[in-house]
Amino acid sequence: MKSIPNLQENIRIAPYTSMRVGGTVRRLYRPESVEQLTDLVLSCREEGVPYLVIGNASNLLFPDEGYQGAVISTVGIKELSLQGGKIVASCGVSLSALSVFAMEHGMDGLAFAYGIPGTVGGGVYMNAGAYGGEISDCLESILALTKDGAIRTLSREELSLSYRHSRLQEEELLLLSATFRCEEGIPAEIKSVMDRNMASRKEKQPLEYPSCGSAFKRPAGQFAGALIQEAGLKGFSIGGAQVSEKHAGFVINKGSATAEDVKALLAHVQKIVYENSGVLLEPEIQIL
């Protein structure tokens, strides 16, 4: 494998994740360009090294036993530019930085992304959304490394984007960069929407504790948090993992949670909510 800067070996992954759980990973790489990322992934494939590309790990639950392969974080790959009236963002750009950039350039449609602690890669993978908007609204296309090693442009229509779902979840597609086309807007007005959304997050979400955001997807026509609360589970905990007392849709780490605690709590919530309401909640958190 070519030499890549920012390699750490046998490192505890927990501090690098939003949930602050997970054991030791054999290698953690943080490439700083799309070229380094591509070289690294191709080398892993050639050498048969298991690898996992992550963004900000804000929706990932790493196992307590860790990962015996290469974890490749994209957070150092942050190119962001305006090209022909469109925004081109590389995979590691934070969704908040993308949102601020759009606002500053008078481009409307990405205010919803302000405050989502993920990257462009993780955001498209999850079709992240909030406050009535989602990534698919202004995504035009992505540049991706395919399973067979080709670099291809895929249009929004080819990405099967729906609620918290994209084609990236179904096949090996590594997002290198994404192009967004926005409506024209007035920066001050866009900023006031961003500020309002952020104030709402701070008021309603347990941001003072580690979490992965909403633990479960929203079931059609209902809210996961309301179903969990109605089932009497607000504040319920297993080990160090707890259903937040502030927002029942969040599972938080009270300080000493293990991945097993979080998984056991998710399973318990699913079971009790199903018994109480007949609704089977589907985890939004990606469990490795």
Ligand X SMILES: Cc1cc2nc3c(=O)[nH]c(=O)nc-3n(C[C@H](O)[C@H](O)[C@H](O)COP(=O)(O)OP(=O)(O)OC[C@H]3O[C@@H](n4cnc5c(N)ncnc54)[C@H](O)[C@@H]3O)c2cc1C
CB 198 within 8 A of CB 115: yes
Binding stretches for ligand X (CB under 6 A)? 18, 53-60, 74, 91, 116-119, 121-123, 125-126, 128-130, 168, 174-175, 205, 207, 211-213, 286
CB 208 within 8 A of CB 227: no
Between 153 and 186, name the residue whose CB sits nearer to ligand X.
Answer: 153
Question: Which phi-psi region, left, alpha or beta, contains residue 164 (left: φ > 0; alpha: ψ -120 to 50)?
Answer: left
CB of 193 to ligand X, least distance (A): 14
Between 106 and 234, name the residue whose CB sits nearer to ligand X.
Answer: 234
CB of 184 to ligand X, least distance (A): 25
Beta bridge pairs of residue 270: none
Name the active-site residue from 27, 156, 164, 218.
164
Residues in contact with 203: Cβ distance below 8 Å, sequence separation at least 6, in sequence order: none
Between 175 and 241, name the residue whose CB sits nearer to ligand X.
Answer: 175
In angstroms, the CA 60 to CA 122 distance is: 10
CB of 31 to ligand X, least distance (A): 11
Between 94 and 270, name the residue whose CB sits nearer to ligand X.
Answer: 94
CB of 220 to ligand X, least distance (A): 17
- Active-site annotation holds for 164: yes
Report which DSSP code applies to 180.
Answer: E
- Active-site annotation holds for 104: no
Report which DSSP code applies to 127.
Answer: T
CB of 9 to ligand X, least distance (A): 20
- Active-site annotation holds for 43: no
Name the active-site residue from 20, 73, 134, 284.
284
CB of 201 to ligand X, least distance (A): 7
CA atoms within 13 A on the CB side of 69: 19
Question: What per-residue string of b and e applies to 236-274 under the rule 16 or more CB within 10 Å gives b?
Answer: bbbebbbbbeebbbbbbbeeebbbebbbebbebbbebbe
Residues in contact with 14: Cβ distance below 8 Å, sequence separation at least 6, in sequence order: 20, 21, 22, 23, 62
In angstroms, the CA 152 to CA 1 distance is: 24
Name the active-site residue from 90, 211, 214, 244.
214
Which residue, chain included where needed, has tokens 């997970």? 22
Between 132 and 278, name the residue whose CB sits nearer to ligand X.
Answer: 132
Between 31 and 185, name the residue whose CB sits nearer to ligand X.
Answer: 31
Report which DSSP code applies to 74.
Answer: -
Q: Which residues are catalytic?
A: 164, 214, 284
